[in-house]
Amino acid sequence: MGIGSAALVYAAVTALIFRNLLPGLATHIYSDLGDTLLNASILAWNAKQLPLTEAWWNFPSFAPLTGVTSFTEHLLLLYPIASPIVWATGNPILAYNVVFLLSPVLNGVATYALARELTQSRAAAFIAGLAFAFAPYQSVQLSHIQEMMSFGMPIALLGLHRYVGPAAFDFAQARKAGHDVRGRDRDRARGGHGVQRVFDDVRQRAREQGAVDGHGRERVGRLDVD
């Protein structure tokens, strides 16, 4: 399965999970009305102010304090997605919901790309994207869009991997090293069994010579070993 097909599957799963939200994208919001509305207002603020300017840093809250934007998440990663929606519709709730529904899809696609690069397997990449996009821990972060939009992590790891180079981590060599370690473990295990056999032979000889009784307790005496 290619990355495009995987994205469609992730989108379908997202639509199925949040199907009750779809009819009210412009008016309703998922989860509680605390951090969700705060984040929607931050998206609206980002669309109205040029990011990182003096005006942008002064979010209209906690007057007369300044620099209030630094008190919470700035959500600038979402600027290219949310701001055009706010500009076109004037509706930050719609922008928030679009970003909200895109989160699992983008997380899955980014993880697919990383896993595909590392494993060279489309099946493994698809499963990795599915697992990351819809992991159970996401269910406790549904009111925190900054937590849900985590596609930057796999993209950063993918970029780091390509920067360092595939030769820096050779999976074939890693598998060979794993086989070597297992082989050494087997050798040690066999060696351990060999030591146990020697110990049993010594104990049996001691028993025959009367140095150890039938319960394995030592008796005073001398043990002759060939």
Q: In DSSP terms, which residues pair with 218 in a beta bridge? A: 212
Same domain for 180 and 162 = no
In this structure, what are the phi and psi dihedrals at residue 218, rounded to the nearest 5 degrees?
Answer: -75, 145
Last residue within a domain, chosen from 168, 195, 215 = 168
Q: How far apart are CA 215 and CA 95, in angstroms?
A: 79
Q: Which one, of 66, 60, 65, lies nearest residue 48 by Cα?
A: 60
Indicate the number of domains in the chain. Answer: 2
Q: Are residues 179 and 70 in the same domain?
A: no
135 and 201 share one domain: no
In order along its 226 residues, the chain shows pLDDT tens digits of 899 999 999 999 999 999 999 999 899 888 778 888 999 999 999 999 999 999 999 988 888 889 999 998 888 888 999 999 999 999 999 999 999 999 999 999 999 999 999 999 999 999 999 999 998 888 888 888 888 888 989 999 999 988 887 655 555 666 666 666 566 555 555 555 555 665 566 566 656 666 545 555 545 444 454 4
Judge if 136 and 26 occupy the same domain.
yes
Cα torsion for 199, 204, 206, 209, to the nearest 10°?
-160
**Model pLDDT, residue 143:** 85
pLDDT score for 223 = 45
Q: Are 105 and 111 in contact (CB under 8 A)?
A: no
186 and 145 housed in the same domain: no
Q: Are residues 18 and 120 in the same domain?
A: yes
Greatest alpha-carbon span in the chain: 98
Helices 92-119, 122-133: axis angle to 10 degrees equals 140
Q: Which domain holds residue 184?
A: 170-226
